Structure 1
Amino acid sequence: MGKNLWSSLETDGIYHIYNRSVGNEILFPQKRNFLFFLKRWKELLFGLDVFAWCLLPNHFHFLVRVRPPDDGIMRQVQRQQTIKSKAFIAGEISWAAFLESQFQRLFMSYALAINAQEGRHGSLFQKRFKRVPILSEPKCLYLLAYIHHNPIHHGYCRHFSQWPWSSWHAFHALDKPSAVNRKEVLSWFAPTTEEALQRFDEYHQAFKCERKMERWTIE
């Protein structure tokens, strides 16, 4: 049986989130567009813990965990002042439904900005973003490296450090703030930061896109 590309976003679930442009169009024509997309993600998708991300010219990948709607999250939900946020607060829709509405806000607001910038019209993203549940630690580790490896896989660079639009850099600048949950990711590799970073790098350097794991990728 094939993988479920549109699973419900359940609390504490880990997911590979990805989407691409319609007609293979360029999603990020300028540097400021990458930055704007990340800014809107942070503003709207506060209900997700991010473990890894990568933005490429015509698609993107994120590895995330769904956060429970605790008091802090609920305060952010209240500030949204949307029909869906009010419905969630009233108990009329699920947390998953609210999160999906936030994704739609992200895609719509980003598409409107690009359409205005580029003089285009219509949809920019494929209608349904993919969200595949990750149910084991090996798959989680695989996708962490796969996401960071993606620019190499598509021929945009020869090393992770050469592609500026991925979370790989956040793990090599621990003194700088980041929206990525680096502490938890590094805990997957070792109990101490120094050893974890060494194993993180070794795992990425040794990574190969194994055929048996290709079903977890966008291609």
Structure 2
Amino acid sequence: MLQLETYYHIYNHANGDDNLFREEKNYHFFLKKYHQHIDVIADTLAWCLMPNHFHLLVKIKSAEAIAATDPKFQTLDQLEARTAFLSKQFSNFFSSYTQAFNKVYKRRGSLFIKNFKRKEAVDDDYLRNLVMYIHLNPVKHGFVKEIDHWPWTSWKLFPDTWPEITDRLFRSSEQYLLLHGDKQACFDEYMRLENDLI
């Protein structure tokens, strides 16, 4: 179960050989639906969308912040009901995207692997490595040779969107760029990140 005010690495994959995104408009629609369902409950710090899977780093908001934007959450007074509500938001998002995708492409059944993966980010070292892992994922999977060439990521947005977190995790935006470059240049180092994070 997702917990309030906690950082999570959330990721999921398409079923079998399916792709989550077949054309550019799918990426835009996914992000639109994502923001409709998830912005209520979480801040999204880092993200990357690839043809058959995605990675997110989110921080679940406080109970007060969620209640201020969603009246349904205010009526839930038990912790168990509140944590179930958080997971339900993700389920509703996946379902909404799948229904629209299936209608457009005349397909049936689930698009995503049934249970999305979530791993709590426990400290700043983990968070720093996770940000780099998420942003460099398209390079790892061979979609591009350089991080700058993949458009469906928060790589360029992160330092300006989250300056305090950039300073906390990377000391500066310059160091943010350098560390990403170092990991991109050394594939063995990047693979060590994956072993620690997944």
Structure 1: where are the runs of 5+ without partners? 1-7, 79-84, 175-180, 191-195
* TM-score (structure 1 length as normaliser): 0.80
TM-superposed CA distance for 1:161, in Å, is: 1.0
Distance 1:126 1:63, change over 3 A: same
TM-superposed CA distance for 1:102, in Å, is: 0.6
Partner of 2:190: helix, strand, or coil? coil
Q: How do residues 68-83 of structure 1 correspond to structure 2 at under 5 angstroms?
A: 68-70=62-64, 72-78=65-71
Match of 1:140 among 103, 118, 127: 127
Distance 1:47 1:201, change over 3 A: same
- What amino acid maps onto 2:70 in structure 1? V
* Deviations 1:41-87, CA, capped at 9 Å, x for gaps: 111112111110000001000011111021x5213222xxxxxx46x
Residue equivalent to 1:127: 114
* TM-score (structure 2 length as normaliser): 0.89
TM-superposed CA distance for 1:94, in Å, is: 2.9
- What amino acid maps onto 1:214 in structure 2? N
- What amino acid maps onto 1:53 in structure 2? W
Structure 1 runs, 4 residues or longer, greater than 6 Å off: none
Residue equivalent to 1:82: none
- What amino acid maps onto 1:61 in structure 2? H
RMSD across aligned C-alpha pairs, in angstroms?
1.8
Higher mean C-alpha deviation, range 53-62 or range 39-48? 39-48
TM-superposed CA distance for 1:137, in Å, is: 1.3
- What amino acid maps onto 1:57 in structure 2? P
1:91 paired with 2:77, answer yes
Equivalent pairs counted in the alignment come to 190
TM-superposed CA distance for 1:212, in Å, is: 6.8
Q: Distance in 1 between matches of 2:25 and 2:156?
A: 18
Distance 1:213 1:118, change over 3 A: closer
Higher mean C-alpha deviation, range 138-147 or range 205-214? 205-214
Q: How do residues 197-216 of structure 1 correspond to structure 2 at under 5 angstroms?
A: 197-207=173-183, 208-211=189-192, 213-216=194-197
Partner of 1:23: helix, strand, or coil? coil
Residue equivalent to 1:62: 56
Residue equivalent to 2:143: 156
- What amino acid maps onto 2:182 in structure 1? A
Distance 1:30 1:159, change over 3 A: same
Q: Distance in 2 between matches of 1:160 and 1:185?
A: 20
Structure 2: where are the runs of 5+ without partners? 184-188
